[in-house]
Amino acid sequence: MSFLPKKTILGQLEIIEVYDFYDKPVLFSCKNKSGLIFIVVCVDSSDFAEIWLYAPVSSSRFQDINYGAVELRDIFTNTEDAFVYLVEIPYEDGLNAIVKPIDCQEIQEDYLPSLGQIIELENNSNNEIELIAKYKKREIIDLILQFPDEETKEAPVGELGLILYSLQEILDAIGQIKLGKSASHIIQPEVKEQTQIVISGVFSGSFGMRLEGTVYTEDTLGLDESFLGQCLKEFIQLINLGATQDELQAKLNILNQKTARKYTEFLKALTRIGISKLHIDWASPEHPKKTGEIELETVRKALDIIGKTKIKAEAEIRVNVKLVQINYKNRKTTLQEVGSRKTYKCLIADSAINDVETICKASVYEATIQDYVILSAVVGKEKHGYELLGLKLSTSPEFTEVKS
């Protein structure tokens, strides 16, 4: 038996929040495809059916309810349209639910909550996220921006939009890597299809956003993790690494240049919006909740580390070069590609230090060079650097005369 009625005048319902749970949600909010919101409570049961009250609420009253400004009893006895729906859901599958509107004043006294009870979303949403993921069969992410003023219940649109946009692009970039695609290529449609997330609601404490993605079907339930789940795990790990330099740099080198750049944009948006801390809760239908958290001071330190991080390119460069200049003391050399104006200003790696001891301008060499990117403090800006990994005299026949 489904606890949500189907094919009734209430429409196609989906859960927004679960406030109380006993074997199943017994107090929750839901909405239909038209956006009509209901607060729902299980009030009784018989030998044949369960009995529920559905109180329709406007979006503004829904916010007041979640802030604890409306008593639970008042939600049902004083609705904006002066009626509620009494819903009987049969235990037997295949039987239709019975839905009838009744005047608020006609609700049985023993169906009503006690006086003084309220719903406080900020105290319940994080505890119930696993239940919501299970019953909605979706990845559920609560992204919570905590501000210095804990009473703040709003956020600037521009910075908020950039936070959400860059988060989606981070997940896309991680997905690109996990599918074995080149990080330099445009994100493939099959990646975006699996990593897409949507925003389904906002809540207080200070400013929270409910994000959802990946609808599980009966065929996909029981799998270890969804593709989006794998990407979210990497993102949560990034957040929790904070400003741990070696581990953060190593992780970004695994996730590659595009992810590092998008993560930089995400962190910079957090600094601009003025948060004191970011908190993330994430749950899947068959996995326990995972959390991520990073404070503003750590965000700034992480940005400084990323700005100095060398993100290695996907492949090493092998090219025939001639020496332009070398500085043994600073371990730097400039090499020019033979037959081209392209030059490589390289740091000399430990692996190449012996190779350059006898280097001269008259000879042609085969160089192995690591290309890397250093992300600057300016979003979207980056510069390429090179490291000489190895050097040997070229064996190409066209350079035999030069070498002799």
pTM above 0.85, yes or no: no
Please give the share of the chain, as a percent, with pLDDT higher than 90.
48
**Which tokens sit at 376?**
């600057």
Q: How far apart are CA 276 and CA 174, in angstroms?
A: 27
Q: Which residues pair with 170 in a beta bridge?
A: none
Residue 300 pLDDT class (50, 70, 90 cuts): very high
Of 19, 17, 22, which is closest to residue 37 (Cα–Cα)?
17
User: pLDDT higher for 25 or 151?
Assistant: 25
Of 159, 315, 171, which is closest to residue 233 (Cα–Cα)?
171
pLDDT at position 126 is 47
Q: How far apart are CA 307 and CA 183, in angstroms?
A: 19
Q: Is the confidence at residue 355, as pLDDT, over 70?
A: yes
Q: Is the confidence at residue 401, as pLDDT, over 60?
A: no
Q: Is the confidence at residue 127, as pLDDT, over 80?
A: no
User: pLDDT higher for 176 or 123?
Assistant: 176
Question: pLDDT for 1-24, tens place per residue?
Answer: 578 898 899 999 988 888 887 777
Please, are residues 261 and 307 in contact by the beta-carbon 8 Å criterion?
Answer: no
Please, are residues 273 and 155 in contact by the beta-carbon 8 Å criterion?
Answer: yes
pLDDT at position 317 is 87
Of 168, 169, 115, 101, which is closest to residue 141 (Cα–Cα)?
168
Mean pLDDT over 105-111 rounds to 94
Residue 377 pLDDT class (50, 70, 90 cuts): very low
pLDDT at position 148 is 86
Q: Is the confidence at residue 402, as pLDDT, over 50?
A: no
Question: pLDDT for 340-353, tens place per residue?
Answer: 989 999 999 899 99
Mean pLDDT over 72-92 rounds to 93
Strands 382-393 and 343-348: parallel
Question: pLDDT for 244-290, tens place per residue?
Answer: 988 888 888 888 778 888 899 999 999 999 889 999 999 988 778 89
Residue 93 pLDDT class (50, 70, 90 cuts): confident
Q: How far apart are CA 231 and CA 225, in angstroms?
A: 10
The secondary structure element, H or E, covering residue 366 is: strand 365-375
